[in-house]
Amino acid sequence: MSFYDIFYKTLIAGGSYLTLWKGLWVTVEISLLSILMGTALGALICAARMCKNRLLRSAAALYIAVLRGSPVLLLLMLMYYVIFARSELSAPLIAVAAFSLNVSAHTAECFRAALTATDKMQAEAARTLGFSGWQAFLIISLPQAVTIAKPTYQSALVNLIQWTSVVGYVTITDLTRVINNIGSRTMQPLFMILVGMLLYLALAYLCYGIFALAERISEKRAEGRRSR
């Protein structure tokens, strides 16, 4: 069988490409919502982890330790089959909740490490010039922390996209499940696995590209401000 025959049989015949698109869109939706919610929650956990209240710091540290050390699949199954077993929440929303919790723990520690690594002397110098603590944080510390955290945060997001491949265990028809179904139906599992890997790679490098574009825009804006 030629490559064209395999391609047509697996991706074109019977509208397989439409099913593949739907599975890909489910993966993208779960990933995007989990990134947004996980990042927001991670910022709050980071704030609690760095606050002066000892009880809050300890609770945040325990939260991070438990969720970072728990397998994502087991957390997802716990939430779907136990915690929300009798709820009316849909499986994709439960998956988003599980991934958001996991991502929040990783991003909270990422943000905390980045903030800890910033130059404290520059922030103190800004305070002596009349800046408030919040102004010094926004103008001095936060930009440095964003630069430091970017590689780790970016990797966490790419890992999240890969982790979503386990949602088929809770009846969600995502990209991986569609790949498996088409491969089984057409008797071409190897070809479909390769297609799936290429699609996940495309999502990962799309994420990298967005970060690179955002950095480029930021650099151009900074150059524009300096040239004025």
pTM, two decimals, is: 0.87
149 versus 130: the higher-pLDDT residue is 149
Q: 13, 16, 31: which is closest to 200 by C-alpha?
A: 31
Residue 215 to residue 208: CA distance in whole angstroms: 11
What pLDDT score does 31 carry?
A: 95
Q: Is 172 left (phi over 0), alpha (psi -120 to 50) or beta?
A: beta
Max avg pLDDT among 5-14, 25-34, 82-91 = 25-34
Q: Kindly indicate the confidence band of residue 92, based on its pLDDT and cuts at 50, 70 and 90.
A: very high
Give, in order, the Cα–Cα distances in Å from 88 to each of 5, 33, 117, 185.
44, 19, 44, 32
- Contact status, residue 42 vs residue 104, Cβ threshold 8 Å: yes
Q: Which long-range contacts (CB under 8 A, 24 or more apart) does 151-158 make?
A: 152/110, 152/113, 152/114, 153/107, 153/110, 153/111, 154/207, 154/208, 154/211, 156/103, 156/106, 156/107, 156/110, 157/35, 157/103, 157/207, 158/204, 158/207, 158/208
For residue 214, what are the domain limits?
Answer: 3-227
Give, in order, the Cα–Cα distances in Å from 152 to each of 26, 47, 63, 138, 158.
25, 18, 19, 21, 10
User: Please, what is the average pLDDT of the chain?
Assistant: 87
Q: With 90 as the cut, is the pLDDT of residue 213 above it?
A: no
Q: 117, 142, 156: which is closest to 39 by C-alpha?
A: 156
Max avg pLDDT among 11-20, 83-92, 100-109 = 100-109
What residue spans of 72-119 are helical by DSSP H?
Answer: 72-78, 91-116
Quick: pLDDT tens for 166-198.
999 998 999 999 999 998 888 888 999 999 999
Quick: pLDDT tens for 113-147.
888 888 777 777 777 777 776 777 777 777 788 88
Residue 98 to residue 166: CA distance in whole angstroms: 12
- In three state form, how does the secondary structure of 120-141 look? HHHHHHHHHCCCCHHHHHHHHH
Number of domains observed in the structure of the chain: 1
Environment class of 62 (CB within 10 Å of its CB; exposed 0-12, middle 13-18, buried 19+): exposed
- What's 175's domain CATH number? 1.10.3720.10
What pLDDT score does 228 carry?
A: 62
